Structure formats: C-alpha cells, structure tokens
Amino acid sequence: MSLTSTVEAYFAAVDRSDLAGILATMTPDCVMHYVRAGERYEGRDTGVKAYFEKRNAGVEKSWHGDFWHVADVPASRVATRFVVRRTDKGQPERRGDNVNIFEFDGTLIKRIHVWRGLTD
C-alpha cells in the first residue's frame, strides 16, 4: 500500500467510525497533535484510541475528501489538504478546509499533525 493510500484508508475508517480500521493504519507509538489547539494524543492503544472513542460517540456522520496529497516518499511524509463535512449529534453540519501532515514508519502512520479549519 502506498503512503497516500494509507492516508485515504485512515480517513475512510474515520468516516465509518471504524475504530479498529483507524488503529490498523497506525504504529503502536502513534501520536496525534492538534497543532492550533495544542492537544496531543499519544499511543495508538491509549491516547489515540481514547480520542477516537470519544469522537465516534459524538459524531453522527463525517466525510473527508477532495484530497490533495504531496508525498515525500524518501522521508516517509505526506501532506494532505482536504475538505471535511461533519455533523455532531444534535448539531448542524460543519464544513472545513483542513491540512494534515502524516509521518510514517514503513507503511503505518507514526504521527499526524492536524490543522483543523471547520468554518461553519
């Protein structure tokens, strides 16, 4: 699987609220860093898993797409710009234009740096 295929598999699992599928794209020591919020979730089976359990409980539906990837294969990094549409339970849909930077160990995601831009 290519690095960009892994990124898209990750987002597809997020949109399905498929916790096992999300975690399967990550290394055991994966870290998610929400840069603007200053939040970090460390460890695939601890911090990252807890983050997605909470997220999945509150999200009614989400869609990530219109991907624009820039891959640096020798350095095992992918920058992805994408559109997101998300509806939290009891809330109207929000849309955003986001950027994530993914760092890999082999074909698995080791770090995700998130710049979230939900606008409405």
pLDDT score of 119 more than 70: no
Q: Specify the pLDDT at position 100.
A: 97
Mean pLDDT, residues 99-113: 97
Structural domain total, the chain: 1
Please indicate, yes or no, if residue 85 is contained in any of the structural domains.
yes
Answer yes or no: is pLDDT of 9 > 50: yes
In 1-120 the beta strands, taken as DSSP E runs, fall at: 26-34, 39-42, 59-72, 77-88, 94-105, 108-115
User: How high is the pLDDT of residue 120?
Assistant: 47
In a domain? residue 90: yes
CATH code, domain with 40: 3.10.450.50
92 class by beta-carbon count within 10 Å (0-12 exposed, 13-18 middle, 19+ buried): exposed
- Domain contains 79: yes
pLDDT tens, position by position, 47-103: 999 999 999 999 999 999 999 999 999 999 999 999 999 999 999 999 999 999 999
Please give the model's pTM, rounded to 2 decimal places: 0.94
Strand 59-72 and strand 108-115: pairing?
unpaired
Q: Is residue 35 in a domain?
A: yes
Is pLDDT at 116 greater than 90 in this prediction? no
Domain that holds residue 50: 3-115
Cβ-Cβ contacts under 8 Å for 40 (sequence gap 6 or more): 31, 32, 33, 34, 47
**Distances from the Cα of 84 to the Cα of 11, 19, 118, angstroms:** 10, 19, 8
